[in-house]
Structure 1
Amino acid sequence: MTARPARLTSAFATVAARVLGPARRMLADTGGAGAVEMALTAPMLLLMLVTFVDLGMAYQHRTTLESAARAGAQRAIIDYMDTAAITATTTGALPDATGAAVAVGTTLECGGTVVAAGSWCADGTFPATYVTVSVTQPVQTPLGFLDLATLIDADGVARVRVN
């Protein structure tokens, strides 16, 4: 075996110590690790916060539509044949009726079974008349982060017996 000159080994060790020494000290230092962790997690936390706010606003929008449908159903108690007035009452109860679609439907039922118009129940009584008011509108959240208007429509439905 050939022995290496002592000078070359010590020169290599000196260079390695000068180059790797600061790197070892920097890797061993944990000061600032919290700042790095915060910089990595803050965008995810902010994304979650904005998503929860948008979903909350979408739920509030649905509640508003249900309230408007109930207003239309209350109007149907007065005159269930006047669908124009029911529709006007329903859209009037909305803070913003842009894109809202109101549907008013009437069904006749005998003991929970839908029957045809002009027919009587098996026990000889007149069938019960139910009016269903439904409102559908695209979801538009104030932040617009999720852009839910292109994904889903919110709806509110109310049903009332009118006789």
Structure 2
Amino acid sequence: MKIEKVINNIQRLYIMKISIQLNPLKQAIIASIIAILLLFATNKLRAQAVVNKVTFEPTLEYIVKQFTAKYIQNKFYFKFLIQENREDVDYALESSFDGVNFNEVATKEGVKSPNSQPLLYCFIIDDTTTSDRIFRVKITSREEVTYSNLLDFSSATDQTLVNK
């Protein structure tokens, strides 16, 4: 309804503009007023559209939502979704031949999630740089070092592996 009123007012102003010659300064002022009215009208409608209330609960320091890898044409494509509630975190993709001794392959610096939204981190590893087929993500913060579940490509290479 309010938008219709604003549109009607714009039409009236346009008719007034035609009937009364306005100099460019007055036209700019009127256009600014109309823009401000439209801005407030649309913001007010958006605010009224929110009906549900949400209560926020404290989140864990981090939550690994998903750790996925795919092997395509001699390359491993890794991605993992993580929800952060801390800063100064580093993620290292590690590889292993035996699942016991791991080597760091690539690293990423973590950032705090905006509004607790999961963030996507990706790694691409060429299989010519490593013969290892077992992978994990090492999560290092000031307080602790933790690891994701293992993704094991040693049995077959043409596959997609998912750890949730």
TM-score, structure 1 normalization: 0.29
Larger Rg: 1
Identify the structure with the greater strand proportion: 2
Q: Which structure would you say has the larger RCO, counting Cα contacts within 8 Å and 6 or more residues apart?
A: 1
Identify the structure with the greater helix proportion: 1
TM-score, structure 2 normalization: 0.29
